[in-house]
Amino acid sequence: MTARTITIVGSGDAVAHAGRSHASAVVRVAGGPPILIDAGDGVSRALAELGQVPVDLGAILLTHLHPDHAAGLPGLIQQLRLAAEPPKRPIPLLLPPEALPELEAVLRFFGLDPPRVSGAVDPHPLVAGEPLPLGSNLFLRALRNDHLPSDEASTLKNSFSFEFSHGRHRLYYSGDLSSIAEVERDSASADLAILDAGHLEQEAATAAALAAGARSIVLTHRSDGRRPIPRSELRVSWAEEGREYGW
């Protein structure tokens, strides 16, 4: 493994297809615990196929609670509970603060009441802008962004993107976006930008990230009708599930 990687577990399609799953990714730095971003449907199986043991996760981060980003969470928590060797301590589960009041109800629907969950995960609200240490000199900064119109459910109108920094290296992982301005603001000077192209016009989003100084871009949330990336553009690619990208 290189010093810093992100593995695309699910490429973020809103509707799953053969070979393309809902959103999830694993960030690793040498010497530190793996960090899971999002838990779309099928994440437990996909992690097993990658050889990633869930109890070894250092944290679970959710950009927002749409099903394609969080439907696999109850199954993942159940897997943590029933593991032959459960986590040594509850795994931090970081999610948008407005979603916290709903989380308990969602988990109760699956029979995961608080006493059953407490040994597996420890929910906390994401706090925008504050650097959070994740071990081995890896830091997380949560970035709030718009996702849906203001008349949508309050728990879903916003999403979070994430900036990871490790020394002078920087990884940007976007939640679902609705603004090119957020791409320009948050992908600046990233060594690698994992960028939602499902809600924005892909050429405009890519151009904005490159203009902001992103050195390499991997596009997620591919939908029908998306155009291929020109062969001459070596800095941009569509996400490949199971592939590990260095940053």
Range of the domain at 30: 4-246
Query: CA angle, corner 229, sides to 227 and 230, nearest 5?
Result: 120
How many domains does the chain divide into? 1
* DSSP H or E stretch at residue 170: strand 169-173
Distance CA 37, CA 200 (A): 21
Whether 10 and 22 have beta carbons less than 8 Å apart is answered as yes
Q: Model-level pTM?
A: 0.93
Burial class (CB in 10 A: 0-12, 13-18, 19+), 134: buried
Q: Mind listing the pLDDT tens digit of every residue in the chain (247 residues)?
A: 579 999 999 987 766 666 667 899 999 999 999 999 999 999 999 999 999 999 999 999 999 988 899 999 999 999 999 998 889 999 999 999 988 888 989 999 999 998 889 999 999 999 999 899 999 999 999 999 988 765 666 666 779 999 999 999 999 999 998 889 999 999 999 999 999 988 888 889 999 999 999 999 999 987 666 677 887 889 999 999 999 999 9
C-alpha dist (Å) from residue 113 to 38, 94, 108, 220, 222: 21, 18, 5, 33, 35
Number of other residues whose CB lies within 10 A of the CB of residue 48: 12
- Domain containing residue 62: CATH number: 3.60.15.10
pLDDT at position 54 is 95
pLDDT at position 225 is 64
> And the tokens for 183?
């791409």
Distance CA 5, CA 35 (A): 11
Q: CB neighbours of 69 closer than 8 A, spacing ≥ 6? A: 12, 22, 23, 38, 39, 40, 62, 63, 175, 176
Q: Where are the alpha helices (DSSP H) in the chain?
A: 43-50, 67-70, 73-82, 100-109, 114-117, 180-186, 202-211
Q: Which of 36, 5, 1, 8 lies closest to 246, judged by CA?
A: 5
pLDDT at position 150 is 59
Distance CA 226, CA 68 (A): 19
